[in-house]
């Protein structure tokens, strides 16, 4: 008897949870009460005959307790959509954002028009030659043109990386001579690219496993959507970090309809460690409100920044929470801005 079967015996109307939900809660509960270690120990070194019956009863009772607790936790996921994990601050922030998002109509494209998503990113770069290693901040820009027919031809203009104003002069000189970038990489990454349905790498571009034109089938329930995200990102590293990164990756495409966008915000707020940050000012001067997640070492916070007036994502940033490598706490070490507009043509 698994946990859901046990729980159904106590309460009717419980739906089948995604396998990831069940596995996640089972691992959490078993680890918390030590059932796994008890069972492992029993297998590796069986107890003496006099204590064997007592040990078996303990393991059975712990397993039953674990099954019950897993069932209760899964019930919170499946039966009670609002699990209350989001803090009051995050909930209030998302209520405001949702109201703005639902009152702002998604862009309507006429045949021949494109949704233009302009992205600019600042990140750390390095150059090594003749035993010399240089590090500096670099800028990259790209523009994605998405047609009204999402299965039509997408156009992606990617520009060369350039040193930021703060970069040393020697790096700027190298950049002018294009020595800071690998010419083979740059030739492959810079220019205008075209692909039906946005499938630029030929692997089948999808959003959580479905083509961009079919996102209507993705859950709008935040808990179910988050389970879908955990399932899609499993085995890719720290689950919560990867889930938050996936939410940001999906949103930065700029092609997510408002109802799914709001569901993604609320799903993000259910990820352990994600909370409301409040008002922030992006590097490009635009002001927004942010959901943030602090790194495991407590040194950095990764923000998803939302325009409170429209509910649209306007960018991301990484902020230091401690003095680090000569930069004071509060320094933005990297950022990415996103702007969307409707245009009549593409390159």
- CA dihedral for 34, 35, 38, 43, sign (positive or negative): negative
The model's pLDDT over 278-309, given as tens digits with 9 standing for 90+, comes to 899 998 899 999 999 999 888 999 999 999 88
pTM for the model stands at: 0.70
**Token pair in block for residue 285:** 């001067």
Q: What is the pLDDT at residue 64? A: 45
Q: What is the pLDDT at residue 136? A: 84
Q: What is the pLDDT at residue 43? A: 32
**Token pair in block for residue 68:** 């019950």
- CA 30 – CA 316 distance, rounded (Å): 36
Q: Which of 285, 284, 301 is nearest to 293 (CA)?
A: 301
What DSSP line would sit under 188-253, residue for residue? HHSEEEEEETT-TTSS---BTTB-GGGGGGS--SHHHHHHHHHHHHTTSSSHHHHHHHHHHHHHTT
Backbone angles phi, psi at 127, to 5 degrees: -140, 130
Backbone angles phi, psi at 224, to 5 degrees: -70, -35
Segments of the chain scoring below 50 in pLDDT? 1-22, 24-25, 27-55, 58-84
């Amino acid at each position: 008897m698994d946990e859901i079967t046990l729980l159904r015996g106590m309460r009717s109307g419980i739906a089948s949870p995604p396998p990831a939900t069940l596995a996640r809660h089972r691992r959490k509960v078993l680890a918390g009460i030590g059932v796994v270690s008890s069972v492992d120990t029993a297998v590796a070194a069986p107890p003496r005959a006099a204590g064997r019956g007592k040990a078996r009863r303990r393991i059975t009772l712990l397993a039953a307790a674990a099954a019950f607790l897993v069932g209760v936790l899964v019930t919170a996921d499946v039966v009670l959509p609002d699990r209350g994990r989001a803090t009051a601050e995050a909930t209030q922030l998302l209520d405001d954002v949702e109201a703005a998002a639902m009152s702002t109509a998604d862009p309507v494209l006429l045949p021949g028009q494109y949704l233009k998503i302009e992205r600019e990113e600042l990140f750390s770069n390095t150059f090594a030659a003749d035993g010399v290693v240089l590090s500096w901040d670099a800028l990259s820009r790209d523009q994605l043109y998405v047609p009204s027919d999402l299965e039509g031809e997408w156009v992606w203009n990617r520009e060369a990386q350039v040193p930021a104003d703060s970069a040393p002069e020697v790096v700027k000189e190298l950049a002018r001579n294009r020595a800071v970038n690998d010419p083979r990489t740059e030739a492959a990454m810079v220019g205008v690219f075209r692909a039906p349905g946005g499938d630029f790498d030929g692997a089948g571009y999808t959003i959580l496993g479905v083509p961009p034109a079919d996102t209507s089938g993705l859950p709008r329930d935040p808990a179910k959507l988050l389970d879908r995200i955990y399932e899609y990102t499993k085995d890719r590293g720290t689950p919560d970090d990867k889930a938050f990164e996936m939410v940001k990756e999906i949103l930065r495409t700029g092609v997510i309809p408002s109802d799914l966008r709001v569901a993604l915000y609320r799903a993000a707020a259910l990820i352990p460690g994600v909370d409301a940050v409040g008002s922030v000012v992006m590097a490009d001067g635009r002001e927004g409100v942010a959901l943030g997640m602090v790194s495991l070492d407590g040194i950095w916070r990764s923000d998803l920044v939302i325009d409170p007036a429209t509910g649209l994502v306007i960018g991301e940033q990484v902020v230091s929470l401690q003095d680090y490598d000569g930069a004071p706490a509060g320094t933005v070490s990297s950022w990415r801005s996103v702007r969307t507009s409707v245009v009549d043509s593409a390159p």
